[in-house]
Structure 1
Amino acid sequence: MIGRLNIMQKFSILSLLWVVFFVVLAGAVLSHYLERNMLERDGAITTDFVRFIVRQRLSARDFHYPVPSEERFSGVFREIESIPEIVDVRAYDTEGIVVWAGLDALVGRSFKRKRGLERALRGEMAVELTARRDRDESYLEGHGTLVEIFIPVIENGELVGAVSAYKSSATFFRNLERARRTVWLMSAAGGVLFYVSFFSLFYRSYRLQRRMDEGLRRLNSELSALNAVAATVSRSLDVEELLDLALRKVVELAGARGGWAALGADGGFVVASSAGEVDAAARLRALSSEGVFTAAASAGGAGATPRLFRDSSWCSVCVPLVSRDRVLGFLELVHPPGRAADLERRLSMLASIGGRIGVALENALLYKDLKEFNVVLERTVEERTRELRRSRDEIKAVFDAVTDIIIVRDMECSVVMANRAAATHFGPEPVVGRKCHALFKGEDRPCAECAASARLFYDRGARSLELTNAATGEVYSLSLFPVFDDTGAVRAVIEYAKVVTEQKRMEEKVIQLDKLTSLGGLVGEIAHQINNPLVGVVNYAQMALKQVEPESPVREELETIVRAGKECRDIIKKLLDFSRPASFDLHLLDCNALLDETLRMFERQLSLAKRNIEVVKEYSPGLPPVRVDRTLMIQVFFNIINNAREAMGGGGTIRLATALVDGWLEVTIADTGPGMDEEALQYIFSPFYTTKRASGGTGLGLSVVSNIVSRHKGKVWAESRPGRGTVFRIRLPVELEAC
């Protein structure tokens, strides 16, 4: 049953029981202490009176048994018994023996076992209320409950005895009863006052708690509504969808008939969404005519608050949607007329909801603007990208159109950009990422002239240098152009390079040709000067041979003179041929046939088979003819084959091959001889350079070969490595008409 009571009823019952218990307990305790107090007070009055009489009439020797003067005791105690309600008096010595009593039979008896007497014999006054009697006190039965008062008798600071007085309790109990009624009435009055005060305090606290609970429930409801609205508006960043979702959620939470939302546009407001039973357009016109929108917009975010409107058939609240001191729109909820008071209490909550929707609405508007800006930005970026790509393609086209090498390297010598000519020249590996010193010099370490690039450009000007690649032999004429950053420091270098290998070779050939021209003139003059006396020597030696007998001892010496003279004549002839090139007799000839004719001539003069030399022919059929001088070209082939024969003293193989290569007719003459080192290859076509000095070589054969091929506008070079044989390649121009 108690479980069905509310907290107020439970508190009323329990507090009443507690107050009753408190009143009963307080009355009992106070009655007990009141009784003791009244008893001690009554005893104190009687004690003072008895002590006064005893001190006046008795001495210490009167308290010794047997009593010296019984008459004096009788007089004293008659005075004591004159006190109202005193019914009996006794005197005791220090051992608790009765020395005088109203009943003679008690004299000489010991009552030391009485607690009150024990206390009196210790010098303390004692008062007791007793209804029980000993057998010796049966004569007092008719007096009912008596007040026993035990009074110590002290003389000169020493205990000499004790006196007890038995006093009727009728008056005491009447006074005690009146005092008890007073105590109980006061306790009851105090309990009632305490109960009323405590109950009133609790009731006020209970009412306050109820109001706080109602406020908390209302606040919790408002927070739940705010959370619900926040969760709803966070679902979308589209302005129209957000307003529609927010309006429907607020109408649902508020229990409204309907509602509508307006959004700012072109200096005014337009209906953006509506829900339920409401004429949004009419309400918009009505609120606009009343200046609600204008007043709220001019007041700003802090001054724009919800407003309540009443009509006989409806009531509504108009909530501004505020964000950062700007009114972005409005939301109106329409209710039945009886909801006005409730709406007035909820204005603060509706203001918070309007602020939350306003923040979400501003985010949605910002997102909309951001999307539009993003579209414009993407379109602009695409246009700029197309322009940049077009500019880059144009620059790259110009960059790649340059036939010379152009690279851009950073300050760590790494290539970051290269044109097509660089990729073709340094391919097939990618050029970007490689080191410039590895490309131009074939070295792993930066070259000294590039390691200090920043210092090279102290005057912000270009620099030029010439580099040779040790691995490929290519020669580059290099121009360096610095690229500066905003601080003026060099951040990159553009390197423009021209391959000048052929130019260098042509310069060397021109220099060599100048030397040969000068040398040729000198050799021709010397040859003429030697040739004239040599002719006389040979002729006279031949004439002397005709006149000497075959068995003559001088004949052998004369034959030696003739043979040496002819050898000198041959050398002089070669010198004259070298110094005075013969005139050309050019014809279109088959190169394969020229090689075969050279071999037949060689076999007639110097047999290859006898030297254990094998000739292998690898002619390409259908080759176009070349315009050459037959005699000079046979001399070219003859000199090279003869060098191969002399190089292979112990036999070997000579390979003759022809082919059409890149528009040139290429003749290859290869042997399996000992080969040559790099130094020999470098000077092999120089006049008077020979590797056969011990066997009488003059060093003019290959120089003549180079001279003849050059006069035919051809090319000749040698490829050789020690122990791998030697290959001579001759390239002759092909007649276009013949092709």
Structure 2
Amino acid sequence: MIYVDSLNAPHGFRKEDLYLLVGLSSPAAVAIENALLYANQEKIVESRTKTLRRTEQKLRKSEARFRAIFDNMKTGVVVYEVEKGGNKFTLVDLNHSAQKIEHIRKEDALGKEVRDIFPEYESLGLLKVFKRVWESGESEHVDPVFFEGRKQSGWREYDVYRLPSGEIVTLFSDLTRRKRAEEEQRVLQERFLNAQKLESVGRLAGGVAHNFRNILQAILGNMEFLEMVYEDMPGIVERLFDKKIRVTVQMEKDLFMKGNRSLLSQVFMNLFTNARDAMPGGGRLIVEARKEGDEILAVVSDTGFGMDKETLNQIFDPFFTGKEVGQGTGLGLSTVHGIVEEHRGKIAVSSSPGKGTTFKIRFPLAKEMADTSEETKKHIISGNGQKILVVDDEPGSLAALVGMTESLGYKVAGVSRSVEAMETYKEFQPDAVLMDRNMPGMDGISCIREIMRLDQNARIVIVSGYESSGPNGIDKDVKKMIMGYLTKPCGLEDLSQVLSGILET
């Protein structure tokens, strides 16, 4: 605003004066207005500059945050620029994990085409995945594959994405340790399952062996030292094999072991039969036996079909058979396994398709053959009319034990059930009891407890076909109750000595 006043002229300003003032004030007004506008623009620029600086700081922080996340990710990340319509992928960025996993340096990889850095991607089909993702915009997951690079190899799992910028990014993980752990776990699981299988085989074989022993108890008086079953082998081989199969038998002399001829013959009969069936067009069977340290090693080899790993893992399983329906029960080799273990032996098998099969069986070696001279005849101790109660659910075994006990000079009562045993004990009042361990209904252990309630001074001997568990499988309380333990088939000498020993106490 301009203020003008007339001090000397009483009549004010003339028109010319007013025109002059107007002419002078217009440029001044423009100048003032321009000055004001300039000052206002400076404020706007300053404000915008501050805003831009704040935005730039935020961008720097965001980029630093992204870079920190990018470089510290456990997953490998690689970014590619797409060229030539999706046929060329140039590496433009990668994080620390990608460098570590693939053993490459960032400065060596930037600007290189993917085929120069990872030529294996083409054979793995990853380049086709890159192109599909770039064209469709849809991400894809690549299941674990085995990557074998120039500097590093192992299992990889990939995820491929397209960025808004049109670049392709791959995220990948190194699964090598996990795969190894899974394989180790699989092996352990397989071993565990095999152990469970063997345990079930053991249970089945134990039951089979128990039944064998009950039968043997009715037939055999005792177990003798046998020169294995080799003297029977020529006859077995002659019955089983025709002239298309060449048989070689190589055996050392003086191979003695303690065992049951019938059961051991069944072992070799089963192995020979399997060998014959594996060579329908002919072949060769080799039977060997020799000493190895304190053991007898028996080897049965054939040149038949052979077996794969999966079959080998199952051959001792009950009811498993590789034969056609109706040609095998699947119990032959599980029974063989059980009989060998019951004789404190070990059995192993090796085979491969088209290369035949070899069974190796090891038995404890007896130090010498039984001496049958007059000086070493069995020391059988006779009874003097004492009363013995025999309890066994198997008729043949019961009859044999009753007959053997009577032949020793004892008065004997025989029963086949625990309930009968309780009643007979009260009436017969025996001096000793021979108790079968495994019976239907009330088993032998439970029956022993009931008898001890009737008579705390009862003399009880367990007679069982479960040799593998023996007295170790009995509760401590029951161990205190019994005075002896016999394993079927028990001989007259052992029976006489046990009865004599408990009746003298």
TM-score range, shorter-chain basis? Answer: 0.3 to 0.5
TM-score by length of 2: 0.33
Larger CA Rg, structure 1 vs 2: 1
